[in-house]
Amino acid sequence: MTSDLKGDSTTKRCRRCREIKPETEFFRRGRFAVGLRSHCKSCHNKARSPESPWQSRSVSLRLRGLPSPGIPALREALGEPQTCYLCGSNSLDWKTAVIDHIMPMARGGTNAPANLGWTHNSCNKLKANRTLPELVTLLKSIIRFQEHLGR
Ligand SMILES: [Zn+2]
Ligand SMILES: [Zn+2]
């Protein structure tokens, strides 16, 4: 066996896409396990990517102390992030979107899908532990006061 791996790189056939690729295109099985995965890196990433943003949202709902409805129920109820239910902008994406509790958890709201909505992270912070009517009341009083000041 040669020790010059750069000049004589070994290859492996991906079991999913059937392409023969250099071994550097395969992830290792795990930090302490021997050998490479049977799927190439690009197949591995493709298989993960549709679930992973949902996965992280589901986990973060669970970490806040109540059971998550699970990925299929979340996907069904919310769809991909697009429209912020607070400001109405259609500019949401996975980077800017967070799941807001319409009735805040601090006020007894749960992770039931009907109590969840996509918002901008910034809109979510503004709402904080307010109910929707409380937020609207606050915003109206801010507008009235600022108009009174002539701003
Ligand atoms: Zn592949
Ligand atoms: Zn918004």
Q: Report which bound ligand comes closest to the CA of 43.
A: 1
Dig out the tokens for 52 from the structure: 């992973």
pTM of the complete model? 0.66
Asked if 12 and 23 touch (Cβ cutoff 8 Å), the reply is: yes
- CA 81 to centroid of ligand 1, rounded, Å: 29
* Positions of E strands within the chain: 11-13, 20-22, 26-28, 36-40, 97-101, 116-120
Q: Which ligand is nearest to the CA of 39?
A: 1
Ligand 2: distance of its center to the CA of 99 in Å? 11
Instruction: Render each residue's pLDDT in the chain as its tens digit; 151 residues.
Output: 444 444 457 899 999 889 999 999 998 887 777 788 888 988 887 766 667 889 889 988 988 788 999 999 999 999 999 999 999 999 999 999 999 999 999 999 999 999 999 999 999 999 999 999 999 999 999 999 999 999 8
Instruction: For ligand 2, an ion, list residues with CB under 5 A.
Output: 84, 86-87, 120, 123
The secondary element (H helix, E strand) that includes residue 74 is helix 71-78
